[in-house]
Amino acid sequence: MSDEKTILLDIADGVATITLNRPDRLNSFTAAMHEELRGALAAVREDKSVRCLLLTGAGRGFCAGQDLSDRAVAPGQEAPDLGASIETNYNPLVRSLRELPMPVVCAVNGVAAGAGANIALACDIVLAARSASFIQAFCKIGLIPDSGGTWTLPRLVGHARAMGLAMLGDKVSAEQAEAWGMIWKAVDDDKLAEEAGALARQLATQPTHGLALIKRALNVSLDNDLDTQLDLERDLQREAGRTQDYREGVAAFVAKRAPKFEGR
C-alpha cells in the first residue's frame, strides 16, 4: 500500500483547496480516503482564514464514487453492509459540504461517477471541464443513487430527467449538465483550474457570513412553504444585518468606495 496522501489540502488567499488524490483509481473512495477527507474538512472549518472551499480531483477524473475493488463478494460470503458505509462516510461528507458556513466551489476536472457525481452536485457552485461528465453509475451495479442524489437530482433537473439518469446511468456531458441547470458552468478544459481558482478567490473576499446565510436559506427553500420561507428570511436577514460586513457594505456604498469585507 502506498503512503501517499489520498487527500491534498492547500490553504492560500482565503481559499482552502481540497484535491481528491487517487488518480490511478479515478479518485474513487476508500475508507481511508474518507477519513483523510473528514480530517481536511475539520481543518477547513477550524481555520478562521478560510472563506471559501474549492474541491477538485487529481488526474483525468474527478471521482468514480466508491472504490469497488473490495466490494466483490464470493459465493456464500456475506455482503458488506453498505448502509453502514453510507452512514459512516458518505452522509457525513454530504452534510459537511452542505452545512459548511462558506461557499463551496467544485471544479469537476473529469468524469464524476456514482457518489462522485453526487458529491460534486452537493457543492454550492459547480464548474466542470468541457470534457468532464456526470454518471449516475449506481443502477449498473444494482444500487441506488446515494450521497444525496435522490434528493439533489430532482431538485436540479426535475423528476423526469432524474428518473432517466438514475435508471439508465447515461453519461451527461458538462455542456448538457449546464444546459439542464445541473451545474453552474462548463468551461474549457485548460481554463478550469484558473477559472475555478479565480472564482474561489473572489468569493473569499465577499461577506462570508452573509453568503453562509444565503446558502442556508436556499438549501431549505424547496422544502418550505412560502410563509415558512418568509419567516426564515426575516430571521436570517436580522442576523445578516448585525454583521460587520453589512456595515462595511453600506458604508462603502455611501462613500462610493470599494468595500473591504472581513467575512464576519
Whose Cβ is closer to ligand T3D: residue 171's or residue 216's? 171
- Residue pair 24/14 in contact (Cβ under 8 Å)? The answer is no
Whose Cβ is closer to ligand T3D: residue 41's or residue 63's? 63
What is the strand order of the sheet 185-187 is part of? 7-12, 15-20, 52-57, 104-108, 125-129, 185-187
Q: Which stretch binds ligand T3D (CB under 6 A): 64-72, 121-129, 175-183, 193-201?
A: 64-72
- Which residues, 6+ apart, have CB-to-CB distance to 91 below 8 Å? 147
Q: Binding ligand T3D by CB under 6 A: which of 1, 3, 46, 69?
A: 69
Secondary structure E strands in 88-187? 104-108, 111-113, 125-129, 133-135, 171-173, 185-187
**At closest approach, how far in Å is the CB of 13 from ligand T3D?**
32
User: Judged by CB under 6 A, how many residues of this single chain contact ligand T3D?
Assistant: 23
Q: Which stretch binds ligand T3D (CB under 6 A): 45-53, 82-90, 200-208, 251-259?
A: 82-90
Q: Does 67 bind ligand T3D (CB under 6 A)?
A: yes
Residue number with the shortest CB distance to ligand T3D?
65
Around Cβ 260, how many Cβ atoms within 10 Å?
A: 11
Which DSSP state fits 66? B
Residue 20 pairs in a beta bridge with 7, 57
128-147 binders of ligand T3D (CB under 6 A): 135, 137-138, 141, 143, 146
Positions in the binding site for ligand T3D (CB under 6 A): 25-26, 28, 64-69, 71, 82, 85-86, 111, 113-115, 135, 137-138, 141, 143, 146
